[in-house]
Every structure is written in C-alpha cells, then in structure tokens.
Amino acid sequence: MTLCAFPLIIPGAPTGGKPDQLHDHARRLFPICRSITGEGIRQTLSYIGQHIANFHIHHVGSGTQVFDWQVPLEWAVRKARICRTNGETVIDFAHCNLHLVQYSAPFQGRVTRAVLEQHLHSLPEQPDLIPYRTSYYTEGWGFCVSEHQRAALTEPEYDIDIDTELRPGVLSYGEVLVPGDQPDEVLFSIHCCHPSLANDNLSSIAIAIELARALQSGPARRLSYRFVFIPGTIGAITWLAMNRDTVERIRHGLVLSCLGDEAPPTYKQSRRTNAPVDRYAAYLLARWPGAQIVPFEPYGYDERQYCSPGFNLPVGCLMRSRNGTFAQYHTSADNLDFITPAALAGSYRIIANMIGMMEADTTLTSLNPFCEPQLGRRGLYKVIGGTNTTDAEPGHAIDQMTLLWVLNLADGAHSLLDIAERSGKPFAAVMAAAQALDKAGLVRANPD
C-alpha cells in the first residue's frame, strides 16, 4: 500500500510544504544541466537564493586542498553530438543532458563504429532508458544512450563533436542558517550536482527550500537550522574542511535525497545508530506502514563524510526509495512524472515532525520528587464518568497516566522521547503533559 499523506503529529512542527509548490520547484530546476562544478550548479543555487532569504553562495577555487582531496577543475559544456558523416545529428546533448557522460573532455573527430562502441553506455535490461554516468576523476569522454538508440548506430563511421572545457575555476555551494535561541544546530545536507534527475536530487532540493522558508517565516525556534546545498562527495568534503568550528555545534543532522517517489520512507541510521535523530526517525517511521530503517554503512550519500570517524556526527539519511534500489535510479526514467506532489508533501511532513521533536525534546526535573504531588489541588486530577483525563488546556484532554509517567520520569535523565517510549504514550501527549506540569510548577525543563 502506498501512503503518501502523513499528518503533522507533533505540535510546533513547521507547516508549509504545499504539494504543488514542491513539485513546481522540481519542474523549474529539471532542465538545468547540473554537475559538481560549473554553470548548472550555479544556476541552481541562484534559483534557491531567489526563494530563501540570507542565502550565501560560496566559491572554492580548483586545486584547493580539502582533507585528502582537491577541488577539481571546473567543467563547462556547450554542445555534444554524435553525427552521421553526412552531418545529420543522431544523438544530441541538447535534447537530453544525460546523453553526455559528465566531465567528458572535449573531442572532435571521426571515429569508427567499433571505437564509438567503447564510449557508449546503455542499459540492456532497460532498453528504453538513458543511463546517467559521470567520469569526474578519470579523463575521457562518453555518451549515454538507450539500447534502441545504440542499436540504430549501424553506420561504419560517426563524427563526434564534444565542445566541453575543463579549466581551473571554482566549486560552488550554498547555505543558509536560520538562527534560533541556541547556537546548537540542526544540519540538512542536500546534494545538487545531478542533471535532469527528479527524485535523486530535485525532490530534496524542493523540500529543503520550503523547509527553510517555513523556518524563516515561522515562530522563533530553540535550535538553529543550517541547510547546505552542495555537490555530492567533494562538496560535503569541502564544506566540512571549511567549517571545522560549525561542526562542533551540530546536534542533529539529516542528508535528504530521493524524497519524491511514492514508496514508503527509508531512514538510514547515523554511524552512532542511536543518536536522537535516529530515534526521532524511528518513532515517526513506526507510524508509516512499510517504512524501513536501515543501518549505517559507509556508502551512499554524504552521510559517509559526516559520519567519517574523525567527525562521527549524528547525521542520518532520509529517503523514500533507497538509492540504487529502484528501477528509475540514475536513468532518464527518474523524471518529473516519477515524483508526485503528494509524495513530496508527505516527505516534507516527516521532516517537519522531526523538527518538532528536536525542538520539544528535553529532560525534566521534578520539583516535587518525594512521593506523588497532589494533582487534584492543582486541577490536574479529575475522574469524570470514568474518563481518566484532565482538562489542563481547554479542549485538550491529557491522559492521567501520561501525567503520572512524566512526573515519575522527571528525574533529569529521561528525555520526553524516553518517556513516550517507556510509557507507550504519544510524544505529543507527553509534550502536553510536560507543559501542564511545568505550568503547575511541578517540573522544569533542564537546560541542554
């Protein structure tokens, strides 16, 4: 069963994330030929900057040493075609930017069909689809074509015209910090280096834009929120190299990717496996039929950099279908029809609920720890007609057992999530009980 809708179940979770608005961002960004450097990623960052206030774009020069890596040369592509010797174009990058292997070096010349074959990539099992291939760190050239297109290349010779350039330039990335009351940060990391692929990168860019906007325009928050839009791998490495001080403030983090298809969500745990972010994800995904939690492994998206042993940050990865496991992955079928407005909105709401939990979760200290406090005198104990609830807030009944659990576990060691898990009560009910008890002067939230 596919279930796309997911309610906002945590009070204070950011609202927003309208389905059509999310899909519209993806639609507008789809045609751009992004790569890990160059004009496409800059256009994408510029689009993001038009929708988020205080968005900063950084440029890091080619050759800059970032840990064990170097920022690569910048890649520019003007055209790329395979033509018949009579000049007729048969494969054209202008029709589909997946046709050219990313980071292809320039090449002009006539080649035999046998030589051309060595530079072609196709998918025998999926004959209609064009694959997405990159060659960032080995110089060469290549074309990606469907099996049908490949089969139609029957002439003895073809003219290749690849007008690209690899030259010293910059790697560009963008970020925005939405400051809260505390300097502690929640990091959202979004790769934006894939060309016309919708689920694998545009879905998460669209969701991150709307989350940042909702946080900027919503009520003041306890935590600070940082969104980084970076090229995959080298961008995360570069950002980490440039932000050693920021890293110390990261309390929770999420890599976002593949969030627009209709499969149930997948959460990949951080290397720590039991960080609060892992537990918030597990709590929420337990309420989504078919959702799965998968353990950390040092492969996949940029969590492998954030979770490298020198950092070991509490950063997990949220997806719908997991990278590499769906038929459309890294092919021309990962298009705007594959991602749906409803699925995008459902993913948005998972993250919004996680933010609600990050904001609310705290440990409590009882101000009346010796035996139970007398709740009746404080208007917190009422048994009417067998309903064991208390009207602490008008219209918001608080379950009596939840109050007792919160009071009992207000020992400075248990978080609200610990209390929810141990009592089996909803996190939102524990939040409401904690607020009522705080108002009655029976508990206080501990500073972090």
* 200/302 with CB nearer Zn ion: 200
In angstroms, the CA 7 to CA 435 distance is 22
Q: Say whether 256 sits in a helix, a strand or coil.
A: strand
Instruction: Choose which of 200, 261, 302, 334 interacts with Zn ion (CB under 5 A).
Output: 200
Find the part of the chain contacting Zn ion (CB under 5 A) among 111-119, 166-174, 200-208, 431-439.
Answer: 200-208
Find the part of the chain contacting Zn ion (CB under 5 A) among 197-205, 418-426, 428-436, 440-448.
Answer: 197-205
Residue 261 Cβ, how far from Zn ion at the closest point, in Å? 13
Q: How many Å from the N-terminal Cα to the C-terminal Cα in the chain?
A: 40
- Would you give the DSSP letter of residue 357? H
Question: Residue by residue, what is the 3-state secondary structure of 235-253?
Answer: HHHHHHHHCHHHHCCEEEE
In angstroms, the CA 213 to CA 228 distance is 14
Residue 180 Cβ, how far from Zn ion at the closest point, in Å? 31
Site membership for Zn ion, residue 175 (CB under 5 A): no
* 74/200 with CB nearer Zn ion: 200
- Which residue minimizes CB distance to Zn ion? 200
Q: H or E element: which one contains 91? A: strand 89-92
250-256 and 315-319 as β-strands: parallel, antiparallel, unpaired? parallel
Residue 188 Cβ, how far from Zn ion at the closest point, in Å? 17
* 182/233 with CB nearer Zn ion: 233
Return phi, psi of residue 414, to 5°: -95, 130
Evaluated on CA atoms 311, 223, 415, 278, the torsion sign reads negative
Residue 133 Cβ, how far from Zn ion at the closest point, in Å? 11
Residue 154 Cβ, how far from Zn ion at the closest point, in Å? 32
**Cα 59 to the center of its chain, rounded Å:** 22
Residue 40 Cβ, how far from Zn ion at the closest point, in Å? 15
* 200/303 with CB nearer Zn ion: 200
Find the part of the chain contacting Zn ion (CB under 5 A) among 10-18, 51-59, 195-203, 288-296.
Answer: 195-203
In angstroms, the CA 340 to CA 399 distance is 38
Q: How many residues bind Zn ion (CB under 5 A)?
A: 1
Residues forming contacts to Zn ion in the complex (CB under 5 A) are 200
